[in-house]
Structure 1
Amino acid sequence: MARAPRTPTKTATIRDVARVAKTSTTTVSYVLSNEKRYIRPELRERVIQAAEQVGYVKNAAASSIKGKQKKVLAVVVAQFGNTFFTRMCVEIVSIARQAGYVVMLCNSDEDPEQEKEIIQRLIAQRIDGCIVSPALSQIDNLALLQKQHIPYVVLERSVPGAITDHNFVSHDNVQSAYLATRHLLDAGHRHIAFVAWDSPIPNVRERVEGYRAALREFGVVPREDYILNGPLAESAGVEIAERLSTLPVTAIVFAQHDLAKGALRYFQNNGIRWPDDYSFVVVGTPEWAEVIVPHVTCIQRPEQQMARAAASLLLHAIQDPDRPTEQHVFPSTLVESQSVRSIETAHHE
């Protein structure tokens, strides 16, 4: 989708905030600097709301040099401990360095408020562009970048809502879960559980869609009690594994690797063997997948392709702000290993 030509807009200043808040620039400075001076609570709130309304970021104007890039990019990810994101960060940094940029890496830890603070500080540093994987797929903080006309690329997390005109790079979440489920169906399994992070982000919903689509292709009616969700922690995977033992399933799609790791630890501690007792496929390629035995069948997501596309889109957007935005969704691939066994379908209907 092409973006309309930008109308030059000056960076908001303290004077703009004071005008909207109907107070003095000195009072605005005290409030925004959080100085320990008494300010009436209603006036303080009015100043804060005015600052948000005009898009003011502290020190933005003072640190900006018109027409000159700082050659600094930022990457804000939601889960820095997730190797899916860290692998892409490594590739993005490499591409940026070749183009003469340094990269600031930030972690929102799935906290929209923390992400907001990070982005505000990045704006104050006058970064040239940003790649962001929005915390919980929320849209509000992207508006901060858009208001300041800072080029950005949304990575992996689709964001429903008002802002649709942005560069976007992801892997096909529907297809990744479909591939995992289809592989188990091809091996004869019909009672297949789906284990996922309990989160509102669209990625989770899309993976459930892929799981259900594969089942329906084989004439299997999806069962809601086979879909098990939990918080993003290995301990939740242990609890889910305990629940699995009460269900007549023979196979599992693990749509999140922390939950998978916890479940496998439970299996090992309780003498449950794979693929003999359970067959399973993990969406993603965690580092431990090739360490444990038997090795794990995984869905490999196109991390390198995604990182290269995101970096390229951002660099192009910096050079040409009026360049039409692009959306890239890359397919995943099945990496077969030792965690799936074939069974006689008739015995498990």
Structure 2
Amino acid sequence: MKRVTMADVAKEAGVSKSTVSQYLNQRYEFMGEKTKKRIEEAIGKLGYQPNMVARSLKQKSSTTIGVIVANISHEFSTRIIQAIEAQFHQADYHVIVCNAEDKPEKEKKYIDMLLAKQVDGLIIFPTSTNVNVYNELNLQDFPLVFLDRSVPEVDVPTIMLDNKQAACLAVQELYQKGYEMLGILTNSTEYNVTPRVERIEGFKQACRKYGLPVQEKFIQGVALENMTEKIHSIMIGEDPPDALVAGNDLVLMEILTYARDHHLRIPEDLAIIGIDDISFASIYNPAITTIAQPVEKMGHKAATLLISKIAKQKQTQDEIVRFPATLISRSSC
């Protein structure tokens, strides 16, 4: 089939191509309602679809942004993407979501691909090791926002949870419930991923604050595939912990699975608190006490920050914006 062009729309509506172009770009200042109506009807009748690539080349804008998620397996990731997409939809932007699977080389490929597609900006959950790539984007003044993780070597606006405060809330709750031997498990800290490192540090600080022993053998950053083995070695050792903090939702799943498989009663044999209020926490038996992130607010902030950078509006906020966590007390401790 022959592609319907702007010239075809102009001919059908009885106007010039420039008038159709003004209509498509929503420049209605000097356009009468009857003219707008004729163009709208012509577009509908002919089934005209604007060539978005050609328009983006001409206007130097694709009205598209890219979101590169470190690991989309986390419920936090999918929920915050929904919040980001909703905000960009309101602003008439399209969103392309890519999953780096915590692999720096995959993240780099996605950055290259999205730049080739001429996205107007990027929101990245950084894997942390592509420092040269991030700094190159900065040098080119490319609109960029980090989410969930910071990279100290890169000066980019960053939206994060107050991770130390989140871990402190968990320790405080366990301390007030009378637990003394505490541990925290999170994913591997090999690449110094910010939430993992900060939650462990916040956990240690809170234990010292409340006079609880800091048991390094119960404080572990472990690759997820080795998590069951690590939990087992902790739980069968001498004087095992009476409470564990799960550093994120995937770790919580591993702990709950281990407890079920080894017939551990929650909280009688092992108290549990999870950082991230995952969807099943309230209906699990027993219901899981969690530390919730303000996901919608964080996604909204990241999107509005990027829109401001795309519009080259002056940035007045701090480089790192941290949101406080909230304790949701249930029955697992």
Of 290, 300, 315, 1:308 maps to 300
Amino acid at match of 1:128: D
Bigger drift between 91-100 and 262-271 goes to: 262-271
Please state whether the residue corresponding to 2:135 is helix, strand or coil.
helix
Aligned equivalent of 2:23:
none
Q: 2:79 aligns with which of 70, 82, 87?
A: 87
> How many residues end up aligned between the 2 structures?
275
Report the secondary structure of 2:290's partner residue.
Answer: strand
1:244 aligns with 2:234: yes
Partner of 1:111: 103
Structure 1 residues 32-181: aligned runs within 5 Å: 65=57, 67-136=59-128, 138-161=130-153, 163-164=154-155, 166-181=156-171
Q: Which residue of 2 aligns with 1:232?
A: 224
Q: Which runs of 4+ in 1 moved over 4 A?
A: none
Q: Decide whether aligned partners of structure 1 residues 147 and 126 sit closer, same or farther in structure 2, where only a CA change above 3 A counts.
A: farther
Contact 1:240 1:263 in 2 (8 A): no
Q: CA deviation at 1:140?
A: 2.8
Measure the CA separation in 1 of the matches of 2:255 and 2:143: 41
Unaligned runs of 5+ in 2: 1-53
Deviation of 1:266 after TM superposition, in Å, equals 1.7
* Secondary structure of 2:256 counterpart: helix
The CA deviation at 1:67 is 4.7
Identity of aligned residues (%): 29
Q: Please give the alpha-carbon distance, in whole angstroms, between the structure 2 residues aligned to 1:263 and 1:80.
A: 20
Deviation at 1:131, TM superposition (A): 0.6
For structure 1, the residue ranges without an aligned partner over 5 or more in a row are 1-61, 341-349
Name the CA distance, whole Å, in 2 between partners of 1:129 and 1:264: 39
CA distance in 2, matches of 1:189, 1:156: 30
Q: Which amino acid aligns with 2:158?
A: F
Deviation at 1:213, TM superposition (A): 1.3
State TM-score, norm by structure 2: 0.78
What is the aligned partner in structure 2 of residue 7 from structure 1? none
State the distance in 1 between where 2:246 and 2:238 align.
Answer: 16
Task: Say which of 321, 327, 331 aligns to 1:328.
Answer: 321
Q: Which amino acid aligns with 1:108?
A: A
Cα deviation 1:182-201 (Å, max 9, x = unaligned): 11011111111111212221
**Are positions 1:216 and 2:208 aligned together?**
yes
What CA deviation, in whole Å up to 9, does each residue of 1:277-298 have, x standing for no partner? 0111111122332342111000
**Kept in 1: contact 2:66–2:95 (CA 8 A):** yes
Match of 1:189 among 159, 176, 179: 179
